[in-house]
Amino acid sequence: MFSYCADPKTLEGLMWLSCYITTVKHMSFYVSFLVVMGLISLAAPLAMAFGFAGAIASRSSIKVFRYLGKTYLAMIRGIPDIVFFLFIPIALDQAFEYLRHKVLCPEVTEAIRQGNDFVVCTAAKLPLSSASEWVHDFYGFSLALLAFGFVFGAFTGNVLLGAMSAVPKAQLETGEAFGFSPRQIFRRILLKQMWVYALPGLSNLWMILIKATPLLFLLGIEDIVYWAKELGGIKTGVYEYPHPDWRAWYFGVLLIFYLLLTYLSQLVFDKLTFRLSLGQATMAGKSN
């Protein structure tokens, strides 16, 4: 980035450090922080959507929907998260490629499953081999995002289901006495009253979601953990910027990043709890 960085071997002190932290790999390291922020920013609303759908289905009067909702909420709780984080991207990737293979290559008669291999025609590959690197990165990130949304959606659904059950039944019965339809009772009373009960659980899930972002490293995405391990490892004289094992320093930066992120998140949730609790018949509301 700087003109004096042309020959790193002639540099010392702060000049060497300024060149070192502005290399292309370090720029990728800085961008990876945005990847993590993008993941949690998109995974949170996606998890809310999955969770809300699961909670509503669990309360449905239609038996099929009720069983599907309860199965979804219970299944994720009973299986380790890492299994789903590794299974969902692989399953979705193969499902997409299978459908594309059937549509784009109907003339191919060979079996797709050939022993341990999953073989589809070239046109059905996702992404295509000719696609740019950013397309491969975006595709991998999208699969990881769906995995996070699906897993945390189940936990969110349990929180929302509990919050719905915590709303005093007298309020719902009052709405019924005033002639509200079940849909109006849900939209005007239950949906508005449940958030004060759901917020503590949702705040905990948000913190857990933040702590789960290093799992991107296991999904093959070059996140902050990947770059901290890559850049902090021992670099010998064959590299432009040789240095000893600096992983402790890099992971220390990650420690500070996550602590700041969780601290700021807690401040936001405290303010939300205060506002939502005003006038509510809860311990938080009475204290306000």
Element spanning 166, H or E: helix 133-166
Report which of 92, 97, 77, 56 is spatially closest to residue 152, judged by C-alpha positions. Answer: 77
Dihedral of CA 265/267/268/269: which sign? positive
147-182: pLDDT as tens digits: 999 999 999 999 999 999 888 888 888 888 888 888
CATH of the domain at 111: 1.10.3720.10
Per-residue model confidence (pLDDT) at position 259:
94
Domain for residue 203, yes or no? Answer: yes
Segment 82-106 mean pLDDT? 87
* Cβ atoms within 10 Å of 124's Cβ, excluding its own: 20
The pTM (predicted TM-score) of the whole model is 0.83
For the residues 86-114, what does the mean pLDDT come to?
87
Q: Find the domain containing 254 and state its range.
A: 24-287
Asked if residue 122 has pLDDT above 60, the reply is yes
End-to-end CA distance of the chain: 54
Give the closest residue to 100 by CA, choosing from 121, 76, 79, 131.
Answer: 121
Checking if the pLDDT of 285 tops 70, the result is no
Residue 7 in domain? no
Residue 37 lies in a domain: yes
Buried b vs exposed e over 143-173: b needs ≥16 C-beta within 10 Å?
bbbbbbbbbbbbbbbbbbbebbeebeeeebe
Each residue's pLDDT tens digit, 47-61: 999 999 999 999 888
Token look-up 């609303």 returns: 45
CA distance 221 to 49: 24
pLDDT digits (tens, 9 = 90+) for 186-195: 888 888 888 8
Say if CB 40 and CB 268 are below 8 A apart: no
Characterize 65-87 residue by residue with b for buried, 16 or more Cβ atoms within 10 angstroms of its Cβ, and e for exposed. Answer: eeebbbebbeebeeeebeebbee
Please state the rounded mean pLDDT for residues 123-140: 85
Q: Is residue 229 part of a domain?
A: yes
In a domain, 271, yes or no: yes
Q: Within a domain: residue 168?
A: yes
Residue 282: is its pLDDT beyond 60? no
pLDDT recorded at residue 280: 58
Average pLDDT, integer, range 6-19: 79
Check residue 3 and give its pLDDT: 73
Q: Residue 124: CA atoms inside 13 Å, Cβ hemisphere, count? A: 21
Number of domains in the chain: 1
**278 domain residue, yes or no:** yes
Q: pLDDT for 230-267, tens place per residue?
A: 999 988 877 888 889 999 999 999 999 999 999 999 99
The yes-or-no verdict on residue 281 having pLDDT over 60 is no
Cα separation of 238 and 175, whole Å? 75
8 in a domain, yes or no? no
What are the start-end ranges of the H helices in 167-177? 169-177
What is the DSSP code string of 100-161? HHHHH-TT--S-SEETTEE---GGG-SS-TTS-HHHHHHHHHHHHHHHHHHHHHHHHHHHHH
Question: Is residue 36 packed enough to be buried (19+ CB in 10 Å), middle (13-18) or exposed (0-12)?
Answer: buried
State both tokens at 7.
């020959």
3-state SS assignment for residue 259: helix
